[in-house]
Amino acid sequence: MLYLRRVVPFVPGHSVAVADLRESLDVSEAEIRLLTRFLGLERIVVAEGMTTLDMLLALGQEVLAGEDRGRVRRLIHAHTVQHLAPPALRWMDVLRDKLGLGGAGAFSMSHQGCVIGLTALKAAEALLLDEEPGSTALVLVGERALSPVMQHIPGTSVLGDATAGLLVSLEGPGDALLSVAQRTLGEFHRARHMSEEEQHRYRQAYTPALTAVMLEAVHAAGLELDDIDQVLPHNVNRYSWSTAARRLGLPLERVYLENVPKTGHCFCADPYLNLSTARAEGVLHPGDTVLMVSAGQGGTFAAAVARTGPQGPTPTSEE
């Protein structure tokens, strides 16, 4: 079993009102009203003056503070956007060297949209099974929006700059990972380049697929939906989660939506940001069972069930 021994968010201290992004995003006033009044997106966090690499380095140092870096055998960066930098920059080598992880194999994962942050847990667990007892993996999740195209999903969401770092191991203490479920509807692989007819079919398929993968993860953990204390979603918008909750017969107060108006949708880091915030606010306590959920452009869906446990210090990084 995989344990999330530390879960640390990196949330910039600076934020911008969605209403003030109309010019930079080149969108209509009607789109701004849709995003703010109907979808519940008020502000997004912005990492001014920082690159994704800067964010990951600061985050990695915080996650590893006080840890035995010699035990870290894998360094994984899970990111939504397929290409964040030219290959010649060798980001993973830079991260490994600057974090002092000379004994770790380093690689990045993408091509699954915003679900990659959850599915990376399966890769980390599989790789640790081949390592010595006591070995750990550092999983860095997320990126910075590099352009207006990355920052805005028309009619759906606005994306902020936040990341999360996980130190995981096959030994506790920590949050015990009970299951991970994933499904892909490949006919929607064209994502934002889909035809109007494909977009219509995707909208019709979205909620059924999302709720189906949630139930699949719950049942794979040997549980029922009533056993879940909190759903920790991707922060795409409030409306889509109210729709999913109705389909499941789930009270909306059991879906943690507090960060939707504060941070925006932060790529694949959202479930971990929500896990950290809910824990810090006392919404979650050791022994609670959570269902982390995400969906990605291209028809990808994933969910993971975890039972919360004690963690090391996890101060929130700020820009």
Calculate the dihedral angle through the C-alpha atoms of 205, 206, 207, 211, rounding to the nearest 10 degrees.
100
Nearest CA-CA partner of 292 in 123, 171, 120: 120
Residues contacting 217, CB < 8 A, separation 6+: 179, 180, 181, 291, 303, 304, 305
Q: Are 233 and 241 within 8 A, CB to CB?
A: yes
Distance CA 81, CA 144 (A): 10
DSSP string, 251-286: -GGGB--TTHHHH-B-GGGHHHHHHHHHHHTTS--T
Q: What local confidence, expressed as pLDDT, does residue 99 receive?
A: 98
Provide the pLDDT confidence category of residue 87 given band limits of 50, 70 and 90: confident
Residue 67 has pLDDT above 60, yes or no: yes
Q: Measured between alpha carbons, how far is 26 from 3 in angstroms, rounded to an integer?
A: 43
pLDDT for res 312: 63
- Extract the tokens encoding 30: 């009607």
Asked whether the domain spanning 175-307 has the same topology as the one spanning 3-169, the reply is yes
pLDDT of residue 146: 86
pTM score of the predicted model? 0.95
Write phi, then psi, for 92 (nearest 5 degrees).
Answer: -65, -35
Write the DSSP string, 71-113: GEEEEEEE-SSS-SS-GGG-HHHHHHHHTT-TTSEEEEE-SSG
**pLDDT > 50? residue 8:** yes
Burial zone of 102 (CB within 10 Å; 0-12 exposed, 13-18 middle, 19+ buried): exposed
Helical axes 91-98 vs 52-64, angle rounded to 10°: 30
Q: What is the mean pLDDT of residues 285-301?
A: 97
Strand-pair partners of 289: 307
CATH of domain 175-307: 3.40.47.10
CA distance from start to end of the chain: 34
261-289: per-residue pLDDT in tens?
Answer: 999 999 999 999 999 999 999 999 999 99
Check residues 302 and 89 and name the one with the higher pLDDT. 302
Measured CA angle at 263 (ends 308, 233), to 5 deg = 40
Band the pLDDT of 129: cuts 50, 70, 90.
Answer: very high
Residue 84 or residue 77, greater confidence? 77
User: Where do the structural domains in the chain lie, given as residue ranges?
Assistant: 3-169, 175-307
Place of tokens 């990972």: 177
Helices 238-248 and 196-220 pack at an angle, to 10 degrees, of 50
Structure letter (DSSP) for residue 249: T
Domain at 3-169: CATH architecture: 3-Layer(aba) Sandwich (3.40)
